[in-house]
Amino acid sequence: MQRIINDPFNCVEDMLEGFLKTHSDIVVKTDNPRTIKYKNAPVPGKVGVVTGGGSGHKPAFIGYCGKNMVDAVAVGEIFASPTAKAFLDAMKEADSGNGVACLYGNYAGDNMNVKMATTFAEEEGITVKTVVANDDVASAPKEEKEKRRGVAGEILMWKVGGAKAAKGGNLDEVIAAAQKAIDNTRSVGIGLTSCTIPAVGHSNFKIEPGTMEVGIGHHGEPGISVSALKTADEMAQEMLDIILPDYPFVDGDEVVALVSGLGATPIMELYILYNKVEEILAAKGIKVYRSYVGNYFTSLEMMGATLTLMKVDEELKELVDEEVDTVGMKQFK
Amino acid sequence: MQRIINDPFNCVEDMLEGFLKTHSDIVVKTDNPRTIKYKNAPVPGKVGVVTGGGSGHKPAFIGYCGKNMVDAVAVGEIFASPTAKAFLDAMKEADSGNGVACLYGNYAGDNMNVKMATTFAEEEGITVKTVVANDDVASAPKEEKEKRRGVAGEILMWKVGGAKAAKGGNLDEVIAAAQKAIDNTRSVGIGLTSCTIPAVGHSNFKIEPGTMEVGIGHHGEPGISVSALKTADEMAQEMLDIILPDYPFVDGDEVVALVSGLGATPIMELYILYNKVEEILAAKGIKVYRSYVGNYFTSLEMMGATLTLMKVDEELKELVDEEVDTVGMKQFK
C-alpha cells in the first residue's frame, strides 16, 4: 500500500483537519467533529441544503459544501455512512428556520441514518424533506429503480437543489427541483483497477489486468459485465448504450454531461473519453448544454471513470448556470 | 496498462479535442493544432502571457490558460517539449502589441525551443521576454540553481505574472513580478509509484513497493534518496527539512503553500500531508497566507505529492489574490 497516511484508522480525522485548514475561506468545523458547514451557514432566509456520505470519494461529499450548493455535510468513515447524529447536527447547522432539504445517495446505511436524523430533527422543530439519488443505471433494473444507488449524479442534484435554495425557493420548491434533477439523470461507471481502504490493507475486490468491469459501484460493488479492456471510444459507446435508452435521451434533447475519474486515472484520459461521448451524442442529435470533466467523485485510487447525463429544460439550465464557490466546483455566473 | 485511450500514439490529439469541447467557455483552438489560447486572447492593451510544456501533467499546462493567467499555451507530446513553432504561434496568439512574457520550466527541450521561438517572434516585431522556473530544490544544489528544474512552482509564477499583466503592468513589470514569484519559491516531490507513457507501454523507472523516492522529478528523474515508506507526518517533515533552509524561510515569514498530487494518490492523502505541513510551519512562526491542495500538476498515474512554498510580501499577496478563471484554478476575488 503506497500511501501518504499516518494511523490507517485515523485517516478521516487527519484529512478533515487538513481540509478545514486549507479551505477556511469556505468551510468551518462545528461542535460535531464529523459535521462540517459552509462558513455562512445557516444562511438567513434560505432553505438549508444538507448531504453526507462515506469518505474516500473526494471532492465528494465535503468538497461540495459552500456558496449556493450544500450548507452542511455529515462525514462518515471511509466507504461507510455517517452516523444519524452527524446527519442531525448537519441539519441543525443548515437550518435558518426555513427547513432543510437533505439530498443524499441511496445506500442502506445512509437511508437508515437520515431517517433517524429526520425524526430527531422534527422533534426539535426543524422541517426536513429528502431526495434520494438513484442515478446508477447498472445497479438495478429500471423496474426496480428504487433499488438503484446514487453516484456522481448526486453532484448535479446538489447543484440544482442548492441553486434553487439560493434563488429563494421554499422547501417544497427546492425538493422538487432536486428531485427533478436526479429523475432526469443517469450514470454508469467502468472500473479498471480496484482500491484499498487503508484500515483494511488489501482490496476487497479485484479487476484483472487486461479487463474492465462495466457498471462497477463506487465502493467496488459488482458491475454488470467483465470484458477485455476496450478502447476509450468503445467504452464511450458502451456507456452510452447503457444510459441513453434507460431514460430515454433522444434526438433534440439537451443534457449536462459529467465525466468523473475514479481517482487514479490520468485526467488526460477523461478528456479522451469525453471527446467520443460528445461526438456520439451529437450524431444522435443530443446537444451538450454544459460539461464537467475531472475528478468530481472518486473512489480512493481506483482507475476508471463514470459518465453521467442529466436532461435539462429551461428551469434546470438556469439552475445549473448559477454561480457556485465550493472546493469541488467553482463556477462563475 | 489499465488505461482509457485509443491509439497510444494519438493520446494528445484525442485529449486536446475533448479538452476544447469541454472548456469552450474558456479556451479555443488556433490554426496550430498544438497551440491553444484563451478565448479572449490577445487581450487588448494587456501584456500577453505564454507558457508551454509536455503533456501528461494535467491540469498543467493548458489548464492554466484563461482569464488573468495564461493567454496561450504550446502543447508538447507526453513528457516532451512543444516545438519552437508551437511556442512561436502561442506568442503570436497572445500578443496584443504590448509584448509577451513567456513563463516556462527549466528543461533542455523547452529552453531550446523557447529560444528559437523568441528569435522568430522578434523577427516578426513581437517583443518577448522570458522567466525560467527552477523551483525544484532536489534537482541540483543551491550553488547550481540555474540547473534546477521547474515543477509545481510554475503555477504560482503564472498566477503572479498573469495577475500583474491583468492589472495593467507593462512587460518589464510582468517579467519582474513572475521572476520574483519563482525566486521566492521552492518545491520538492516524493514519488511512491511510477507511471507509464502509453506509447512506451512500460515504465521507464521503478519505485519498489514499501519504499519512497524523495526529490523525484515530474518525469521520474532520479531523486536524492530512496528510503522505506514513511508516515505522512514524517514525509511532511522531510520535505520541509529540504525546502525551508534552501531559501531560507524563517520565523515571521508568510508563504503560499501548494500541495499537489502526482496523479493517482487519493486526494484525501494530500490533505493529510498538508495538515502536518501547516502544523510544522506554524511551530516555526511561518504563516500560511493561502494554500492550495489538490491535483494541480500531475505526472500521469504516479502516486506521490509535491510541496511548494512561495514567500510572499504585500505585492505578491495582492497578485495571488487576483481573480482567475481557468480549468485548473478558479478563484473568486
The domain segmentation of chain B, as residue ranges, is 10-183, 185-331
Contacts of A179 by beta carbon, 8 Å cutoff, 6+ apart: A131
Check residue B151 and give its pLDDT.
97
Q: Give the mean pLDDT of A253-266.
A: 98
B295 in reach of chain A (CB within 8 A)? yes
For B10-183, CATH number out of 2.40.160.40, 3.30.70.260, 4.10.640.10, 3.40.50.10440 equals 3.40.50.10440
Chain A residue whose CA is closest to B257: A22
| Contact indicator for B49, B174 with CB cutoff of 8 Å | yes
Check residue A71 and give its pLDDT.
98
A202 in reach of chain B (CB within 8 A)? no
Check residue B204 and give its pLDDT.
83
Is A57 designated active site?
yes
Check residue B134 and give its pLDDT.
97
Query: What digits encode the pLDDT tens for the residues A184-200?
Result: 999 999 999 999 999 99
Prediction pTM value:
0.97
Supply A320's cell numbers: 445549473
A21/B301 touch (CB, cutoff 8 Å), yes or no = no
Q: Is A99 strand, coil or helix?
A: coil
A305/B3 touch (CB, cutoff 8 Å), yes or no = no
B3 in reach of chain A (CB within 8 A)? yes
Chain B residue whose CA is closest to A301: B266
Chain B residue whose CA is closest to A267: B58
A18/B274 touch (CB, cutoff 8 Å), yes or no = yes
| Contact indicator for A63, A326 with CB cutoff of 8 Å | yes
Question: What's the CATH superfamily of A185-331?
Answer: Dihydroxyacetone kinase; domain 2 (3.30.1180.20)
Q: What is the ipTM of this complex?
A: 0.97
Q: How does DSSP classify residue A136?
A: B
How far apart are alpha carbons B277 and B291 in whole angstroms? 11
Contacts of A54 by beta carbon, 8 Å cutoff, 6+ apart: A76, A77, A78, A79, A80, A81, A82, A219
Which of B4, B271, B275 faces A272 most closely, judged by CB atoms? B4
A294: left (phi over 0), alpha (psi -120 to 50) or beta: left
Instruction: Point out which residues pair with A254 in neighbouring strands.
Output: A287
Distance from CA of B132 to the nearest CA of A (A): 25
Q: Which residues of B are tagged catalytic? A: 57, 219
A130, A131, A142, A149: which is closest to A189 by C-alpha?
A149
The residue from A23, A202, A218, A219 that is catalytic is A219
B15/A209 touch (CB, cutoff 8 Å), yes or no = no
Check residue A293 and give its pLDDT.
98
Asked if domains A10-183 and A185-331 share a fold, the reply is no
Query: What digits encode the pLDDT tens for the residues B273-300?
Result: 999 999 999 999 999 999 999 999 999 9
The mean-pLDDT minimum among A62-71, A213-222, A305-314 falls in A213-222
Check residue B153 and give its pLDDT.
98
Query: What digits encode the pLDDT tens for the residues B33-56?
Result: 999 999 999 999 999 999 999 999
How far apart are alpha carbons A330 and A328 in whole angstroms? 7
Is A219 designated active site?
yes
Chain A residue whose CA is closest to B287: A21
Check residue A175 and give its pLDDT.
98
Check residue A333 and give its pLDDT.
85
A232/B263 touch (CB, cutoff 8 Å), yes or no = no
Supply A282's cell numbers: 451529437
**Which regions of chain B are under pLDDT 50?**
none
Residue for grid cell 541540483: B140
Q: Which residues numbered 237-256 in B keep a CB inside 8 Å of some CB on A?
A: none
Check residue A204 and give its pLDDT.
83
Query: What digits encode the pLDDT tens for the residues A165-185?
Result: 999 999 999 999 999 999 999
Check residue B333 and give its pLDDT.
85
| Contact indicator for B132, B111 with CB cutoff of 8 Å | yes
B22 in reach of chain A (CB within 8 A)? yes
